[in-house]
Every structure is written in C-alpha cells, then in structure tokens.
A = this chain, B = another copy of it.
Amino acid sequence: MTTPRRDTYTPESLLSVAVQVFNQRGYDGTSMEHLSRAAGISKSSIYHHVSGKEELLKRAVSRALDALFAILEEPAAREGQAVRRLEHVVRRMVEVLIAELPYVTLLLRVRGNTATERWALERRRDFDHRVAELLKAAAADGDVRPDVEVRLATRLVFGMINSIVEWYRPEARGASGREVADAVVQLVFSGLRRA
C-alpha cells in the first residue's frame, strides 16, 4: 500500500483547479501562466503531472461525457415506455450536469479548434442523437404533442437543460439539484405531454 505524500498535486486535483480557470476565462483565453498562478506552483511544474494544456482539456471533457453516457445505461433509461424513459433521462441529465458542473460546463463550450475539441463535439452529437431517438419513440407512441416538430423540440429542451451551467452556482443555496431537476421536468413535460 503506497501512502500518498501529503499536500501534493495529482493529475486529478490539478484538473479541478484548471477546469475552474478554463470556465472563468475560456480555454483559449487561459494561459499556462494563469493555471500556474491558480494552482500555486510554477508553470513548468504542471508538466510534471500532465503532458500539457490539451491533456487537461481531454481529461475534463471525458469525465463529463462518461457521466452523461452512463445515464443511458441506467435501467430506467432502457426499460419501459419511451416517454417514461425520456423523463428519466431529462431528470438525470440535470442531476449529472449539476453534480459534474465544471466539467460539463467546459464540455458545452468547446468550439472545435483542436483535435480533442472536435472529438468532444462528435461524442456530444452521439449523445444528442440517442436522446432525440427517445423523443421520437415517445412521439410514435403518441405521448407527446404532435404540433411541435420532434427535431426542434429536442434542440430546445437540450438548450434549456444545458443553459443551467450558465447560472447554477452550488455555493449559493438558491435551489438544490433536485429542485432544479423538478422544475425542468415540469416545464419540459407540461409543454410536451399531450393535455
């Protein structure tokens, strides 16, 4: 059993600092100098823990993507009525987004300038399609209102959920993750579900 040295950075703990700075300044707007100041170690020391700036980005968006894809593997997302599965996925998306807030925030802001960013965008599209198919299935069951296009509705619902990263702050106890998830489900489904 290796006892960890005290007070020292691991790739993971360094990542949590870096992601905060990335979200505040933007990935491109963040220099390694910014990161070193925020971490309290020298610029060159960062390279002892990670291979460079892009590895930090890759680790961050991977964490977010893994958490999102895990939702689709949950039993409640795989079994039962499509509209029920959709509701579960929507609720869990909000919860995951809040639980992994800084990582998902960063994921939602990548623009595609580097190979890592383009890879992240591609995996995001995969996830979106998986959820869109759920909504399509619910529409085929006749469980959602037919007067709004499925494709359009999917995008608007994703927009509402993803926008949470723009204002939710866990430290300011305005609303818990569950309360936000309830509100989103209310708003989305009282608008979507047939009256």
Residues of A within 8 A of B (CB): 24-26, 28-29, 111, 113, 145, 147-149, 151-153, 155-164, 166-167, 174-175, 179-180, 183-184, 186-192, 195
What is the total number of copies of this protein in its complex?
2
CA distance A180 to B180 in the complex (A): 25
CA distance A157 to B186 in the complex (A): 13
A111 and B26 form a contact (CB under 8 A): yes
The contact sample of 22 A-B pairs, CB cut-off 8 A, is A24-B111, A25-B111, A25-B113, A26-B26, A26-B113, A28-B28, A28-B29, A29-B111, A147-B186, A148-B187, A149-B183, A151-B174, A155-B167, A156-B160, A156-B164, A158-B163, A159-B160, A159-B161, A159-B162, A186-B191, A187-B192, A190-B191
A175 and chain B: residue at smallest CB distance? B152
- Residues of B near A162 (CB, < 8 A) are 159, 163
- Residues of B near A183 (CB, < 8 A) are 148-149, 152-153, 156
A163 and B156 form a contact (CB under 8 A): yes
Return the contact of A163 from the options B29, B155, B188, B189 (Cβ within 8 A).
B155
A167 and chain B: residue at smallest CB distance? B155
- Residues of B near A160 (CB, < 8 A) are 156-157, 159-160, 163
Interface centre among A151, A160, A164 (most CB of B within 10 A): A160
A182 and chain B: residue at smallest CB distance? B148
CA distance A54 to B111 in the complex (A): 20
- Residues of B near A191 (CB, < 8 A) are 186-191
CA distance A187 to B187 in the complex (A): 8
A142, chain B: closest CB distance, angstroms: 17
A159 and B164 form a contact (CB under 8 A): yes
A161 and chain B: residue at smallest CB distance? B159
A49, chain B: closest CB distance, angstroms: 24
Which 10 pairs between the two chains have the least Cβ-Cβ distance?
A: A159-B163, A191-B191, A28-B28, A28-B29, A160-B160, A187-B191, A190-B191, A26-B111, A159-B160, A29-B113
